[in-house]
């Protein structure tokens, strides 16, 4: 995945606002489908339970994902410590699902803005993309079989993979890697991460048909790929 960085005047304003006073109250930076942010990992770094280096380590962030793309994290809040150092609270692509941690701001790229939000309904078997507060995409999907259920919770799009060659690929023409991990397939290569991708078996959709990934018909995944950037928050219910 080629990294694309955007100038973010809004993020600059947030940083400036947070500078007074030092160790100010935590700013919430997460409004999925309206205004949220992600950041690339620029330095391999520990994520902490609290916004201070002496606190417990909850995860180690690396520069690359198992898919060999640039690692990124969804940013949910910002604060400063007593010395005036910025800290960002981020959603982490680790087990258990839902883990969050605090990372020194200087270890991440500038904040990248998003107005998208992917919602997966495992009961109705639908995927809906919200953009700017409005639904801009809907499709029927396949989700995990009962013994390999698609995990529920709040996640984000960690990578976008293309170049599978033909539409006959089991992943279809495009696959999105997410930060969600399977609750049952813990020994899968790469750690059992859940993807959102196309299929070479469109006739089985919609349904409970996968090992936990979310499958779309190829025409639908191609449309979604035009609308959804990496970093997008993902909610699975």
List, for residues 93-121, the tens digit of each pLDDT value. 999 999 999 999 999 999 999 999 999 99
pLDDT tens sequence across 27-48: 999 999 999 999 999 999 999 9
pLDDT tens sequence across 75-92: 999 999 999 999 999 999
Shared domain for 124 and 211, answered yes or no, is: yes
Range of the domain at 133: 116-236
Domain boundary among 91, 114, 137: 114
Greatest distance between any 2 Cα atoms in the chain: 59
Shared domain for 132 and 208, answered yes or no, is: yes
Shared domain for 97 and 139, answered yes or no, is: no
In whole angstroms, give the CA distance from residue 28 to residue 217. Answer: 36
In whole angstroms, give the CA distance from residue 42 to residue 70. Answer: 9
Nearest to 179 by CA among 10, 79, 85, 66: 66
| pLDDT band (50, 70, 90) for residue 24 | low
pLDDT at 47: 98
Just list the catalytic residues. 197, 213
Domain boundary among 114, 142, 159: 114
Assign residue 13 the CATH number of its domain: 2.30.30.170
Nearest to 76 by CA among 122, 26, 124, 33: 26
Element (H, E) at 137: strand 134-140
pTM given for the model: 0.90
């Amino acid at each position: 995945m080629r990294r694309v960085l955007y100038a973010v005047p809004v993020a600059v304003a947030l940083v400036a606002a947070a500078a007074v006073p030092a160790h100010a109250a935590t700013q919430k930076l997460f409004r999925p489908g309206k205004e949220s942010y992600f950041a690339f990992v620029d330095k391999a770094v520990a994520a902490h339970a609290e916004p201070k280096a002496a606190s417990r380590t909850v995860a180690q962030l690396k520069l690359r994902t198992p898919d060999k793309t640039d690692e990124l994290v969804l940013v949910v809040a910002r604060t400063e410590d007593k010395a005036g150092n910025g800290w960002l609270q981020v959603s982490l692509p680790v087990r258990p699902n839902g883990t969050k941690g605090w990372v020194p701001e200087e270890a991440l790229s500038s904040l990248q803005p998003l107005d998208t939000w992917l919602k997966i309904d495992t009961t109705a078997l639908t995927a809906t993309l919200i953009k700017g507060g409005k639904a801009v995409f809907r499709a029927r999907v396949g989700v995990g079989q009962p013994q390999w259920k698609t995990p529920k919770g709040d996640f984000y799009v960690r990578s976008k993979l293309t170049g599978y060659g033909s539409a006959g690929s089991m992943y279809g023409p495009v696959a999105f890697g997410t930060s969600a991990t399977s609750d049952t397939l813990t020994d899968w290569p790469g750690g059992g991460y859940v993807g959102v991708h196309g299929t070479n078996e469109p006739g089985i959709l919609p349904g409970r048909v996968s090992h936990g990934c979310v499958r779309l018909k190829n025409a639908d995944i191609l449309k979604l790929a035009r609308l959804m950037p990496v970093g997008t928050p993902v909610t699975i219910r």
